[in-house]
Chain A
Amino acid sequence: MSVQLSANNYRTPLLNVENLSVDFEQNGRNNSAAESVYLNVHAGETVAIVGESGSGKSATSLAIMGLIRKPGVLRSGKVKLNGVDLLALSSRQRRRYLGKDISMIFQEPTVSLNPSFTIAQQISEALKCHGKMTRAQRYSRALELIREVGITDPEKCLQSWPHQLSGGMNQRVMIAMAISCNPSLLIADEPTTALDVTVQAQILNLLHRLQQKNNMGMIFVTHDLSVVSSIAHNVVVMYAGQVVERCSVDDLFQCPRHPYTEALLKSLPAYHSNTNKRLSSIKGSPPGTVESMSGCRFYSRCNYAKNDCRQSTPDLLGEPDSNSRAVRCFRPLKALSTSNDRPV
């Protein structure tokens, strides 16, 4: 994996996100949801965006798709897919890429499918939108896609309505729909959060297989670090709208450098851990609004905070436009302080 990674660094990335900022307007005030996010995804690579609820991971992924709607506002940023800045396009022009070159699956599959249309209608709509196929061709392609995502009895599934299928089935349908036009990038926004654990594993395997087959780039948004370890190549850790650490998945688990990342890892239940030990959690809660904050946003919850952390804001150090390691901390950690709790 590391070999592939270093090779990746010299290739032009499939997706290049620069300085992406999203605000939410609330009661006349702007709350920053994501601030100056830099991100690269190469073909065949999975980048996980990790963070708590409200850390800006969903806002970032929606902004990449150009799907930020009011009260959300895109403040700045470039999203270059194969060199084309999607955000600079008009919404009409951008639609040509959505669902075709870049597509997305969501957290709640059952409510992400339209209840008034059959599965066949919804899949073939995506095909109709981006290609010239006859009705029969669309149907056979839909059948092929449904088989591809591992649904037994594809004919019956195509005739079904979303409410007749389980959450796992619906997520497979969502995936079939998302890959229908062979996108080069798939954004998965917590695709397994609403599913139970066995189904979750199946969906992850499916995504992994499809990715390898089509050499697809993937952004995987999640708050679940065990999912990250099984699917991601590179990880972006977000906290309160900012990227606080960016590294390879091995580095993330072996030597996190940001105190927040370390705290996240410590709060994972480990497979071989001492059962008498209380699982650690991060004290406090993320800041609701960050506008009036000065200094590091993690300051109040950080175990290593010093006075200067409160006074000035740390920058994301490293090269902001590459996937090499970067950390937003004045005193980045050297190694994991408690090594016995490392997850497998």
Chain B
Amino acid sequence: MPQLLLRRILLVIPTFIGIVALTFFLIRLAPGDPILLIAGEHGVSAERYAELQKQFGFDQPLFIQFADYLSQVLNGDLGLSVVTQTPVLDEFGKLFPATLELALIAMIVAIAIAIPAGVLAAVKRNTLIDHSITAISLVGYSMPIFWWALLLILLFSVNLGILPVAGRLSFIYDIESVTGFMLIDTLLANDKEAFIDALHHLTLPAIVLATIPLAVIMRMTRSSMLEVLKQDYIRTARAKGLSEFSVIFKHALRNALIPVITVIGLQTSILMTGAILTETIFSWPGIGKWLLEAVYRRDYPVVQGGVLLIASLVILVNMVVDLLYVLINPALRQK
């Protein structure tokens, strides 16, 4: 087990360097110039332009710039945003809790609904229940997120007026940011109304963000359960006189979860990045929105740093999934 962990960690190093190189060169391949974009319509004089280029280091040859950036990153410095001149890491740190909060809640909602529903569909195979669950999952998976979000806004915010359209908290509340998680901060501030308000703000984006993972996890749980329920050891469990609950939730689900966990891991990674659309629609002040704006402004350090940080998260999630996989699957533990 420790060996496995070490090997996984060592494998991360080349991945990191690859990601740094890829984002560095890709963003520079895109047309547009950060200095010109900051200058705006009025433009900038040639001398001032050269001065700024020198200040940001853009006058150096590309490979020198890359080597500089790489050594900087290895020292734990992701540089300053060209636009705001604040450290990328600080900006990320400030915005990330919002994204994480949204992603976690969405994932919890998705898992809490998807796994029982998937199990139910498998157990009630080819019945109305199964067909309804499968149909809902298909619709959820195929629905364009943008349109789905607008539909929900139209119903709950515009017509019913019970849920807010955007943001994390209404302006009337002033909550000190301690953890960055609005739900926790409002509780720490002991402001019950603000907590409920934050929950209201979270509801629609969380539903929208949970939709696709929910559909994917549900389908995976169903098909995996169907596969497992056919196995001989399920018959053995029944022959032992175990209750149907124990057969399904202990003997079958435990084995069926192995592929489901992989899917959950993949979906979690996607949520970290896939929140861009949802955050934009609901003006959620998270890293998705931040990164998108950085791309528009060609804010090289922010794009590079942001992508690198998100990539690290994805790697981390995958590592956790790998470890879970080994923990839950005894046959892998030996290897």
Q: A-side interface residues toward B, CB under 8 Å?
A: 62, 65, 67, 91-92, 95-100, 103-104, 106, 108, 111-118, 125-126, 129-130, 161, 163-164, 174, 177
Contacts and interface: CB of A to CB of B under 8 A. Distances in A.
Given A99-B241, A125-B242, A114 B329 contact: no
Given A161-B330, A161-B331, A163-B330, A113 B233 contact: yes
Contacts of A129: 240-242
Contacts of B235: 62, 67, 106, 112
Contacts of B55: none
A181 B28 CA distance: 73
Contact of B241 (A117, A118, A130, A174): A130
Interface in B222-254: 231-233, 235-244, 251, 254
B239 A65 contact: yes
Interface of B: 231-233, 235-244, 251, 254-255, 328-331, 334
A96 B330 contact: no
Contacts of A116: 254-255, 328-330
Across the A-B interface, the 8 shortest Cβ-Cβ residue pairs: A98-B241, A99-B241, A99-B240, A161-B330, A114-B233, A95-B241, A112-B232, A111-B232
A113 B255 CA distance: 12
Contacts of A108: 232
Given A95-B241, A95-B242, A130-B241, A115 B330 contact: yes
B188 to A, nearest CB: 40
Contact of B334 (A62, A111, A164): A164
Given A112-B235, A115-B233, A126 B240 contact: yes
Nearest to A94: B241
Contacts of B237: 114
B125 to A, nearest CB: 8
A115 B255 contact: yes
Given A114-B255, A115-B331, A116-B255, A98 B233 contact: no
30 contacts: A67-B235, A67-B238, A95-B241, A98-B239, A98-B240, A99-B242, A100-B241, A106-B232, A112-B232, A112-B233, A113-B236, A114-B251, A114-B254, A114-B255, A115-B255, A115-B330, A115-B331, A116-B254, A117-B251, A118-B330, A125-B242, A126-B240, A126-B241, A130-B241, A161-B330, A161-B331, A163-B330, A163-B334, A164-B334, A177-B236
Contacts of B328: 116
Contacts of B331: 115, 161, 163
B48 to A, nearest CB: 67
